[in-house]
Amino acid sequence: MHTPLTEFTGHSVYLLGVASLWVTMGKGVTSTTFRVQFTVVDIHDSSYNGLIGRPILTAIKAIVSPVHLKLKFLTEGHISEMSGD
C-alpha cells in the first residue's frame, strides 16, 4: 500500500510515478543544465506545475527570495537570476 502525500490544501494525493528530466535554468552563458528527478502526483486545483526542493537549490547554490519572487544561482562564474510572476 502506498502512503499518500498531503498537498497544500490538506487533501491527500498518491504518487503516480517518477520522471527524471533535464532542466535548464537561466539563459545563454548564465544558464545551467542538470538532471532532476521529479515525483509525479495529480494535484487538482493547483497553480503549481512543479516544485523545486532543497536538494536542487543546494546543488545549484541558489539563494531564494520568496518576497521578491526571485531565485539567484551560480553558473560557471556568473550569477543568474530567475523571476516569478
**Number of neighbouring beta carbons within 10 Å of residue 11:** 13
CA trace torsion 35, 39, 45, 46 (10° rounding): -40
Query: pLDDT tens, 36-85?
Result: 888 888 776 777 677 778 888 888 888 999 999 999 988 877 888 888 87
**Residue-wise pLDDT tens digits, 11-33:** 787 788 889 999 888 888 778 88
Neighbours of 53 (CB within 10 A): 10
pLDDT at position 1 is 47
Task: Take residue 82 and report the three cell numbers written for it.
Answer: 530567475
Residue 84 corresponds to which cell in the numbers above? 516569478
- List the beta bridge partners of residue 22: 35
Would you call 58 helix, strand, or coil by DSSP?
helix
What pTM value is reported for the model?
0.62
